[in-house]
């Protein structure tokens, strides 16, 4: 079999719309509003240029826009909500009414999530899986936003030391089950939850490749839609040597293809126009396989 099965899901959003997952893999475009992104060159964007970039990502074929104001690269130091909010809110407000695709806020802070949802975001993308801020589940439940729960251990500054697994696929799956249970206990309906196995987060390259190869197994156990974020990440250096992050799009294309064939529902990427082509071809392979 050339491709794994992919179940269909309808995810309610806080805007009243729904996100239909499964008929094809969706592309989530990344809008970094941090001054220290690992994956992109260039200065911290101002609001007009950020809005221009967001609209270009939509025009390039992004199905979802993921807006982030804090770097979570390995070794990154945390920022406060007071630092994060001025980075993301002006852009979200400027995009409101101008962008048609759903907007996700990449944050683990309840205060930032609430403000972002009020400004038009419909999805909360939490790298911590609700481990960092005990109030975040309540905000998601109250506002009706969808929730992406990512697997990781520790914090970005310390997570490398946590990359010890007995069986990485089983361990990641079990820990995501725990995060789903925590979300539901916090009032988030199961039908609003998407999972992300956290490629590159508290994982050695071999762990990330192992998780990527077994997306279908993770999805089958959890019975939730799966997002895969492999774009330009450092695990690709295992195959690409020391090529810098902005030059890893060919490697990203291979990882995206593998994710689509493995049944991923969403892929999160930087180079949207290029990866849309990759996803479309991979989907044709699935269809004919």
The pTM of the full predicted model, rounded to 2 decimals, is 0.95
For residue 166, the enclosing domain spans 9-288
- Catalytic-residue membership of 233: yes
Distances (CA, A) of 182 to 42, 134, 176, 271: 39, 10, 10, 33
Which of 114, 155, 248, 268 is the catalytic position?
A: 268
Give phi and psi for 238, each to the nearest 5: -55, -35
Contacts of 137 (CB under 8 A, 6+ apart): 130, 182, 183, 185, 186, 187, 188
- CATH code for the domain of 71: 3.20.20.20
In angstroms, the CA 81 to CA 103 distance is 19
2 inside domain: no
14-28, 151-165, 181-195, 262-276 — which is least confidently predicted? 151-165
247 CA to centre of own chain: 20
- Catalytic-residue membership of 232: no
1 inside domain: no
152 inside domain: yes
3 inside domain: no
What token pair was written down for 235? Answer: 């695990």
What token pair was written down for 35? Answer: 């001054």
The pLDDT mean for the chain works out to: 94
90 inside domain: yes
Which of 109, 233, 248, 286 is the catalytic position?
A: 233
The answer to whether 67 and 92 are in contact (CB under 8 A) is: yes
Q: What percent of the chain has pLDDT over 70?
A: 96
pLDDT band of residue 67 (cuts 50, 70, 90) is: very high
4 inside domain: no
Interval 230-239: pLDDT, tens: 999 999 998 9
Q: Indicate the number of domains in the chain.
A: 1
What token pair was written down for 149? Answer: 């729960």
Interval 109-144: pLDDT, tens: 999 999 999 999 999 999 999 999 999 999 999 999
Helices 205-213 and 168-185: angle between axes, nearest 10 degrees: 70
């Amino acid at each position: 079999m050339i491709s794994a099965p992919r179940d269909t899901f309808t995810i309610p959003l806080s805007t009243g719309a729904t996100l239909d997952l499964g008929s094809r893999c969706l592309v989530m475009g990344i809008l970094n509003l941090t001054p220290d992104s690992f994956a992109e060159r260039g200065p911290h964007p101002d609001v007009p240029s950020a809005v221009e970039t967001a609209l270009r990502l939509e025009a390039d074929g992004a199905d979802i826009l993921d807006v982030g104001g804090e770097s979570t690269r390995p070794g990154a130091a945390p920022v406060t909500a007071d630092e994060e909010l001025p980075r993301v809110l002006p852009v979200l407000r400027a995009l409101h009414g101008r962008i048609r695709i759903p907007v996700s806020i990449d944050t683990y802070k309840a205060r930032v999530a609430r403000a972002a949802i009020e400004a038009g975001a419909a999805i909360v993308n939490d790298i911590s899986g609700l481990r960092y801020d005990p109030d975040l589940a309540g905000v998601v439940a109250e506002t009706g936003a969808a929730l992406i729960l990512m697997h990781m251990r520790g914090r970005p500054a310390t997570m490398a030391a946590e990359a010890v697994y007995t069986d990485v696929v089983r361990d990641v799956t079990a820990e995501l089950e725990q995060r789903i249970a925590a979300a539901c206990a916090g009032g988030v309906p199961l039908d609003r939850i998407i999972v992300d196995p956290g490629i590159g987060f508290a994982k050695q390259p071999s762990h990330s490749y192992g998780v990527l190869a077994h997306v279908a197994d993770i999805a089958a156990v959890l019975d939730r839609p799966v997002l895969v974020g492999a774009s330009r990440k450092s695990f690709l250096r295992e195959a690409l040597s020391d090529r810098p992050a902005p030059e890893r799009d060919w490697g990203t294309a291979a990882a995206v293809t593998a994710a689509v064939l493995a049944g991923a529902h969403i892929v999160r990427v930087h180079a949207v126009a290029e990866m849309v082509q990759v996803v479309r071809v991979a989907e044709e392979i699935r269809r004919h396989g």
